[in-house]
Homo-oligomer: A and B are copies of this chain.
């Protein structure tokens, strides 16, 4: 039997979908982290193998089946070096001749939007946006990491809140209500500067729901920070549009919001929507399908090419 594979590889888990050449899903498998930059090439390879073989078992694909094409979208998959190394590993694992390794953003765009021009904006721990024009050209904005960018993401929300409460404590000498709320989420013995110097970005971003909670209780600082987050995420979409279409992007351009911050933080979502309603207005679309499905769509194109 002939089949294709689409893989979504992230910093904590890997998902593999197998499909037939019409794009119907045959089975799914899961593996560990496969971001080769953070997890290392060896662990990434193991996770890809795990996810692929589990999917084969579940899809009841026998060993003599032929994998026509594989597309993997990986966090950390933007450099040529990584793409070549992972590509080689995937050829060995799957036996496929046609293999393409791309970024997690690219497969999210394919999965999230209908064919044609459009932009996805992702806000999780970090933030970034990727868009496509009518000819299939891609442009990206953001994703500059926790120290230089990631505006509107979870890490940025927490960092902005803590910077604000420390400034206020400089002036008044007493902790603000927002500080007391955030203290609950922090390991007790670390000062804020030490916490930020030692904890990984994901652990810091995990405090973002405490900012949301304060905003929902009417805390004006927390509310302002979420509003700024939404505006910054809308800016990413406008930056991508400027790159793809110049000074006058078409009105009604599709924008799909992705990631936990845009999905669950109502204040962020509201400000994002308002900023994209301004002229020229964009059209917000709910994401059509998940990134692994996007990888499968790309694998189908690759198989038929």
Contacts and interface: CB of A to CB of B under 8 A. Distances in A.
Interface of A: 139-142, 144-145, 147-149, 159, 162-163, 166-167, 170-173, 192-193, 196-197, 236, 239-240, 242-243
A193 B145 contact: yes
A196 B201 CA distance: 14
Contacts of A243: 170-173
Given A147-B196, A148-B196, A149-B163, 15 more contacts: A141-B170, A144-B163, A144-B193, A147-B159, A148-B159, A148-B162, A148-B193, A149-B167, A149-B193, A167-B239, A170-B236, A170-B243, A171-B239, A172-B242, A173-B243
Contacts of A242: 171-172
Contacts of A192: 144, 148
A196 B43 CA distance: 25
19 contacts: A140-B170, A142-B170, A144-B163, A144-B192, A145-B193, A145-B196, A145-B197, A147-B147, A147-B159, A147-B193, A148-B163, A148-B193, A148-B196, A149-B193, A170-B236, A170-B239, A170-B243, A171-B242, A172-B242
Contacts of A162: 148
A204 to B, nearest CB: 9
A167 B141 CA distance: 8
Dominant secondary structure at the A interface? helix
What is the count of identical protomers in the complex?
A: 2
Contacts of A141: 170-171
Smallest CB-CB A-B distances: 5 pairs: A145-B193, A141-B170, A147-B196, A170-B239, A171-B239
Given A144-B193, A192-B144, A149 B171 contact: no
A144 B168 CA distance: 12
Nearest to A204: B147
A218 to B, nearest CB: 25
Nearest to A193: B145
A102 to B, nearest CB: 18
Q: Which of A142, A170, A243 has the most C-beta atoms of chain B within 10 angstroms of its own C-beta?
A: A170
Nearest to A165: B148
A207 to B, nearest CB: 13
Contacts of A172: 242-243
Given A141-B171, A142-B170, A147 B239 contact: no
